[in-house]
Chain A
Amino acid sequence: MATFNHKHIIGLQDFSKEDLELLISTAESMREINNRLIKKVPTLRGKTIINLFYEASTRTRTSFEIAAKRLSADAVNITPSISSATKGETLSDTARNLLAMKPDIIVMRHAVSGAHNFLITKVNCAVVNAGDGAHEHPSQGLLDLLTIKDKFGKLDGLKVAIVGDVTHSRVARSDIFALTKMGSHVYLAGPPTMMPPKVENLGNVAVASSMKEAIQDADVVIMLRIQQERQGKTLMPNTREYSRYFGLNPENLKLAKPDAVVMHPGPINRGVEMSSYVADGDQSHVMKQVENGVAVRMAMLYHVSGGGETE
């Protein structure tokens, strides 16, 4: 029987193929709960989960909150605007204060890469990463895996194109770590200003010379969000030119396999990363990603809720 031997979920880089398979399998089982009238199981009854979000995020926070509630855990949301962060309290002090309230799991989003690696040195409860800087976004990586597996029944041997600002994308990193472990072939495309050095050393990853090369015969096309506020001003001339060379539209999507799926971590900048025709088209799996997000996060919370007992 497969077991999950991690106390925390910080990044998919830490996980073996078996770990990923287990999480996906559990998420598949969790999906049944989300599709029935009584969308709740008593599994995490009496557990307290704190959603500590240092960065604004409606989607991920809501998804984690629903996931917690469907497992009967008590979920509390703390966001910077209502927390002590504005008073200049350090993460370390916030963590200690939260810990005094005996949470079982802290789900945190933070703007600094590695903030979770720091947090786990301060708390003894389980920690789940809801996104840290440009490092990892494991729940997004897992829901991408699940969405792709739903479509193709497998991940092994698929060609997956990831297009956009890889340097500043935690989604790209988690996707790369997870997909390559599962046997997918990952092709990255984007302006060289958005490609981190030696990214091809991360695993079975190739940097394509153009978007065309990346999406040619691809089974999956993952478009990354352009976040100019995070990127600075020097990486591209403007969004107009960006979308011309690295945007997905009905024409260049034809280069991919006819049954290729299009994914995006959201929120979409329509007309920049992809045109509305693609975003709302038949091949778009964006809403399926969101739906799978709840099941995946239930699986993550479930597996860390018992993991603490092993130590």
Chain B
Amino acid sequence: MNTDVTVILDNSGIQRAITRIAHEILERNKGVAGVVLLGIKTGGAYLAKTLAAQLERIEGTQIPVGEVDITLYRDDIKEHGVNLEVGKTDIPFSLDGKKAVLVDDVLFTGRTIRAAMDAMMDHGRPDSIQLAVLIDRGHRELPIRADYVGRNVPTSLKENIKVSFDDNNQPIQVLLEK
């Protein structure tokens, strides 16, 4: 099968997007006080670390970063013929009273974000939840929108967006597969 692959964001493009998102987070939250990042496994978790490092470079303060695995909160477990592997959720801090920024690589139907928010709620009660994504490809099925978007990429349902990472879990590029 021939798949047509286009690079829609290269490494420097990703870096610029993350830098911009970092600044927007700082602006909106008036600094990093009370801000925590929660990456959705697996791509979002990698990006959350990259974003945290960027925020630390700007502000000089370490930002708490956690990871959320949404497998147990999915609404489509029944439809998966085989069992999905369950990843580990790791939130090594309290969410109570925090400004939680949920980080994912690609925003699509919104169902993953719904599951992630449910998972977060079972861990504590943040003051607010914001959403940062590298790519918003549209086709929302739930009333969810991102607060911070690296790049809006209108897609068809047949297309696929893939963020690739290197061995150190650093983003390399974003690909559009037709």
Contact = CB atoms under 8 A, between A and B. Distances in A.
* B is a partner of A: yes
Contacts of A25: 85-86
Interface in B78-114: 78, 80-90
A3 B55 CA distance: 38
Contacts of A41: 72-73, 119, 122
A310 B72 contact: no
Contacts of A71: 72
Contacts, number: 66
A42 B72 contact: yes
Contacts of A34: none
Interface stretch (A178-186, A207-215, A233-241, A301-309): A301-309
B73 A3 contact: no
Given A306-B82, A310-B82, A32 B122 contact: no
Interface string A31-57: 011001110111100000000000000
Interface of A: 1-5, 22, 25-26, 28-30, 32-33, 36-38, 40-43, 71, 299, 302-303, 305-307, 309-310
A125 B69 CA distance: 28
A294 to B, nearest CB: 15
B118 A310 contact: no
Nearest to A46: B78
Contacts of B71: 43
A4 B82 contact: yes
B83 A4 contact: yes
B86 A38 contact: no
Contact of A309 (B72, B81, B87, B118): B81
Most B-side CB within 10 Å, residue of A1, A306, A310:
A306
A310 B80 CA distance: 9
A38 B81 contact: no
A196 B61 CA distance: 64
Given A25-B86, A302-B86, 12 more contacts: A3-B82, A22-B85, A32-B88, A38-B123, A40-B122, A41-B119, A42-B73, A306-B78, A306-B84, A307-B82, A309-B78, A309-B81
Contact of B89 (A4, A29, A37, A43): A29
Contacts of A3: 82-83, 85
Contacts of B73: 41-43
B77 interface: yes
Contacts of B87: 29
A306 B123 contact: no
B90 A1 contact: no
A205 B96 CA distance: 51
Given A22-B85, A310-B82, A29 B69 contact: yes
B81 A36 contact: no
A25 to B, nearest CB: 7
Contacts of A26: 85-86
A296 to B, nearest CB: 13
B40 to A, nearest CB: 15
Contacts of A22: 85
B77 A43 contact: yes
B122 A1 contact: no
Nearest to A27: B86
Contacts of A36: 122-123
B70 to A, nearest CB: 10
Nearest to A6: B83
B83 A303 contact: yes
A1 B85 contact: yes
A299 B86 CA distance: 9
Contact of A5 (B82, B84, B118): B82
A43 B72 contact: yes
6 contacts: A26-B85, A32-B89, A40-B122, A43-B73, A302-B83, A305-B83
B122 A38 contact: yes
A149 to B, nearest CB: 14
Most B-side CB within 10 Å, residue of A2, A22, A38, A42:
A42
